[in-house]
Amino acid sequence: MKKNILSIIMMFAGLLLFTACGSKEEQKTEEPKTETQTEQKKVYKIGVTQIVDHPALNDSKMGFIDALKDAGLETEIDDKVANGEIPTQQLIAKQFAEDKKDLIFAIATPSAQAAASSTDTIPVVFASVSDPEGAGLTDKANVTGTSGVPEIEKNLELLKKVFPNVKKVGIIYNTSEQNSVFQVEIAEQAGKRLGIEILAEGVTSAPEFMSALEKLSRDIDVFFAIQDNTLSSSFPALLEKMNALKIPIFGANAVYTDRGALISQGTTDYDIGYRAGEMAAAILKGEKTPKDITIEVVQKPKISVNKKNMELLGIKIPDDVMKEATITE
């Protein structure tokens, strides 16, 4: 009997010892999670708005998004295009404000103006705005961004070098875009110094653009494509007309040579958008506020030549210019 009792006691002791060992193993494998392990990474809600859909502004958007990715931020992008309609642009900005986005990225002057007027609290970062002060974007504490103002005077100097006998240069621009008005003013001043007559036609829509082009094409030696949203949207028709008349197009942005123009000199919109993305990342991370970040002019001008158009027009570009240029087909 005693023997049986002793066996039972030993059996229970072994069971308790096994259970205790098992508990220690569980404690080893189930260590408490750290704060960083349990914390979910924040996803930032960003409203992206641009006045029209065209390659230059799309490049700016790509640069912005790439900068946020490079900064290690998780984002939810709400991408809206106003299709050239100012009332639509204003509605988009208003909706972003009502949705309480973490940040609004506005591409080009009309989009930046609408975003800035829609909110005093949500950070607004803009890009591809030629004249931020003239557009009324410099006096708001929640607004900053990058200016992609083309170096108009240097462009005309290069134009004069490539076409030494040029007399009349044509420009078509949208009079409702402050950035375009600003560029034309600089071009007219530079033209006087260089002995070039600037023939500028102001428009407000694509149909008006075609009428102005028909009128202007009779009198010009070279067409100067400034950074203008209406011009960019109408560029295929412009290129067709100029090629038919053997009139070269000089662009203020490489997007024009990518689309068929003879030559361009300017900073890429991707670079302008990327720098804006770096600003946005600093704001979202809490490192800076918009008022801490000075509006920045991004200027990294590069020359680009379209070889196919050069052959079509039968134009020889000086060797020293060709050596500096990126050649596109």
Structure token digits, residue 169:
């240069």
Considering the segment(s) 152-266+302-328 as one domain, its CATH architecture is 3-Layer(aba) Sandwich (3.40)
Share of the chain above pLDDT 70, in %: 88
Same fold, 43-148+269-297 and 152-266+302-328: yes
Say whether 169 sits in a helix, a strand or coil.
Answer: strand
Beta-carbon contacts of 27 under 8 Å, excluding residues fewer than 6 positions away, are none
Domain ranges of the chain: 43-148+269-297, 152-266+302-328
Q: Which fold has domain 43-148+269-297?
A: Rossmann fold (3.40.50)
- Dihedral of alpha carbons 30, 35, 37, 43, sign: positive
Q: What is the pTM of this model?
A: 0.72
Distance CA 132, CA 126 (A): 9
Please tell me the predicted confidence (pLDDT) of residue 187: 97
What digits encode the pLDDT tens for the residues 244-265? 999 999 999 888 999 999 999 9
How many Å apart are CA 208 and CA 230, to the nearest integer?
A: 10
pLDDT digits (tens, 9 = 90+) for 198-221: 999 999 988 999 999 999 999 999
Give yes or no for a contact between 57 and 233, defined as CB atoms under 8 angstroms apart: no
Dump the DSSP string for 266-324: E--HHHHHHHHHHHHHHHHTTS--GGGS--EE----EEEEEHHHHHHHT-PPPHHHHHH
What CA–CA distance (Å, rounded) separates 221 from 96? Answer: 45
Give the pLDDT confidence score for residue 5 in this predicted structure.
47
User: Distance between CA atoms of 279 and 89, rounded to whole angstroms?
Assistant: 23
